[in-house]
Amino acid sequence: MWGLLFFFLSVLFLPVKVYSFGVNSGGATSVSKTNNDAFSLPAANLSFERRLDFSVGNSFFRNPWVIAPSATTARDGLGPLFNTNGCQNCHIRDGRGHLPQAADDNAVSLLVRMSIRPHSAEQEQRVLRHGVIPHPLYGDQIQDFAVPGVDAEAQIHITYQTQTVTLADGSVVTLRKPHLTLSQLAYGALDDDVVYSLRMAPPMIGLGLLEALNDEQIEQLADPQDENNDGISGRSNRVWDVEQQKLVRGRFGWKAEQPSLKQQNAAAFNGDIGITSSLFPAENCRAAQQACLDAPSGGKPELSDKLLDSVTFYTGNLGVPARRNVDDPQVKRGEAVFVEAGCGDCHHVAFTTPTLPGRPQHSAQTIHPYTDMLLHDMGPGLADDRAVFAASGSEWRTPPLWGIGLTKTVSGFEHYLHDGRAESLLEAVLWHGGEAKQSRDYIVRAQRTEREALLAFLRSL
């Protein structure tokens, strides 16, 4: 009798279960807060003991670094050249950064990368092997702050060029493209041979799950020669792994130019905050920046391996927000539009992570990151003209879309794409070109109800 009742009940509830299949985008790491802390929570399945490691890492991600020498020896060594004094200043509330809001706003959370444009086959080989050819006077990034006694490299100013797009239903969308000018160049003039890339800080959620995917899972999605003729030819970046001393698959950053969270974090400590580590033991000073080279150090290295590991643990274990409103008919319709428009050909919907020793929270999870982790040619509108390793000037790694619907709640604003130029999800889609042009055109042509359904779906992620 109870067995029969149970049978009927389970039949009754089965459709509900099927419905909620895609709710937990981050598998069992998924968290259900929907306020402005939504990106800052530990993975829901993180063990009690490991939550302590998470909070140690959190404090070194959040709290500011200070100038050496200081009584705060665990946190000193800021600069000499730096962009800001803490990770969280850019990855605001563990979410994304923003462009300067008004003319007098600062450019914190925006990075200006730079390098020399390769001209010969030999220089192109150097790019493939080393990533970029750093500028002799400024390196590969502009640091707009410095400790007292050292000159900041330059001041960063952003202006906008606008253009409009008219959609099939007659509505007009204004798109803006940031334009960079540098002033107060402290170490000499810059010539035309320099290429720049503006980069916005991306959100920190679910990164350990993406790191857990194995190379074969990603490679399966690649189609570098577009053999199936669908106009989409994802490929992977090949980047230098400092610890392994060889080229491996790139995974992190807008051009997938870092192989692992550990190296990404060590590079951020070095390039953005001026903190040395075993991976990057030299300060980010150039040969001609003498005061920078002479400034006191906060230790050799300034960041111990133990702290680097704590921060890396933190950056790998922020839970992914569960989806909202998944049963809403408009959201369901939008999910279908997402598939019909070919969005899922790059924003790959589902993976199951492998089983990893010592990482139960990341093991065997069915996840919905909406990325293939591959590079795609996104056309001239988004191109920065600055190749990094194998990624060309117009290639970008598909960013994950999980959690994207909570951007405004977490950040108070919306700034999408690699340089934060898009102020709405629709603008982000309208900038798609190159391999994604068919998808973008589908949305331009779509009826208003279809377009709004797509946006409702994106907001449910």
- Please identify which residue in 28, 38, 67, 90 interacts with ligand HEC, judged by CB under 6 A: 90
* Per-residue binding letters, 220-259, with ligand HEC (x by CB under 6 A): ------------x-------------------xxx--x--
Q: Residue 139 binds which one of Ca ion, ligand HEC, none, with CB within 5 to 8 A depending on kind? A: Ca ion
With respect to ligand HEC, which residue has the nearer C-beta, 9 or 83?
83
CB 340 within 8 A of CB 451: no
Does residue 54 belong to the site contacting ligand HEC (CB under 6 A)? no
**Structural tokens at position 408:** 């405004």
Of residues 143-202, those binding ligand HEC (CB under 6 A): 199-202
Q: Residue 347 binds which one of ligand HEC, Ca ion, none, with CB within 5 to 8 A depending on kind? A: ligand HEC
Query: How many Cα atoms occupy the beta-carbon half-sphere of 188 within 13 Å?
Result: 9
In whole angstroms, how close is the CB of 196 to Ca ion at the nearest point?
Answer: 12
Distance of CA 55 to the CA centre of its chain: 22
Collapsed DSSP state (helix, strand, coil) of residue 429 = helix
- Please identify which residue in 41, 43, 111, 195 interacts with ligand HEC, judged by CB under 6 A: 111
Question: Strand (E) positions, 228-301?
Answer: 238-241, 246-249
Does residue 261 belong to the site contacting ligand HEC (CB under 6 A)? yes
Task: State how far the Cα of 198 lies from the Cα of 381, in Å rounded to an integer.
Answer: 14
Does residue 212 belong to the site contacting ligand HEC (CB under 6 A)? no
* Per-residue binding letters, 128-167, with Ca ion (x by CB under 5 A): ----------xx---x------------------------
| 178, amino acid identity | P
DSSP 461: -
| 433, amino acid identity | G
Q: Nearest Cα to 398, choosing from 378, 414, 420?
A: 378
Distances (CA, A) of 57 to 47, 51, 183: 15, 10, 36
Task: Provide CB contacts within 8 A for 442, sequence distance 6+.
Answer: 340, 341, 342
Q: Residue 322 binds which one of ligand HEC, Ca ion, none, with CB within 5 to 8 A depending on kind? A: none
| 83, amino acid identity | N
Helix axes of 329-340 and 448-459: crossing angle, nearest 10 degrees: 100
- Please identify which residue in 365, 398, 411, 460 interacts with ligand HEC, judged by CB under 6 A: 398
Q: How open is the CA angle 312-315-321, to the nearest 5 degrees?
A: 160
Distance of CA 289 to the CA centre of its chain: 30
Beta bridge partners of 258: 252
With respect to ligand HEC, which residue has the nearer C-beta, 105 or 294?
105
- Please identify which residue in 78, 436, 446, 453 interacts with ligand HEC, judged by CB under 6 A: 436
With respect to Ca ion, which residue has the nearer C-beta, 142 or 387?
142
Q: Residue 274 binds which one of Ca ion, ligand HEC, none, with CB within 5 to 8 A depending on kind? A: Ca ion
Helix axes of 48-62 and 305-316: crossing angle, nearest 10 degrees: 110
**Structural tokens at position 74:** 């665990």
Q: Residue 261 binds which one of Ca ion, ligand HEC, none, with CB within 5 to 8 A depending on kind? A: ligand HEC
Task: State how far the Cα of 320 lies from the Cα of 351, in Å rounded to an integer.
Answer: 15
With respect to ligand HEC, which residue has the nearer C-beta, 120 or 232?
232
In whole angstroms, how close is the CB of 10 to ligand HEC at the nearest point?
Answer: 36
List of residues contacting ligand HEC (CB under 6 A): 61, 83-84, 87, 89-91, 109, 111, 199-202, 207, 232, 252-254, 257, 261, 264-265, 268-269, 272-273, 311, 315, 338, 341-343, 345-347, 376, 378, 382, 396, 398-399, 401, 404, 416-418, 425, 428-429, 432, 435-436, 439, 443, 454, 458
List of residues contacting Ca ion (CB under 5 A): 77, 138-139, 143, 223, 226, 228, 230, 232, 274
